[in-house]
């Protein structure tokens, strides 16, 4: 599996966890998931 695929899977897991009614202190799981998804999307450009 490619690095981009792993990042997308991590992003999906974080976004699913953000949708659950759990509380986290300090960091928003939705924002972290969105940041990882953006990183996965830009991965081919960053590694070119």
Looking at residue 27, its pLDDT comes to 86
CA distances from 8 to 12, 29, 45 (A): 6, 14, 15
- What's the pLDDT at 48? 84
Report DSSP letters for 1-48, one per residue.
Answer: --HHHHHHHHHHHHHHHHHSS---SSS-HHHHHHHHHHHHHHHHHHT-
Task: Note the pLDDT of residue 25.
Answer: 86
pLDDT of amino acid 1: 85
pLDDT tens per residue, range 1-48: 899 999 999 999 999 999 999 888 888 999 999 999 999 999 999 998
Contact 12, 2 (CB under 8 A): no
- Domain residue limits, the chain: 3-46
């Amino acid at each position: 599996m490619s690095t981009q695929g792993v990042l997308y899977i991590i992003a999906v897991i974080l976004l699913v966890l953000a949708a659950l009614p759990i509380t986290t202190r300090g960091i928003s799981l939705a924002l972290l998931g969105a940041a990882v998804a953006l990183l996965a999307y830009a991965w081919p450009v960053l590694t070119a």
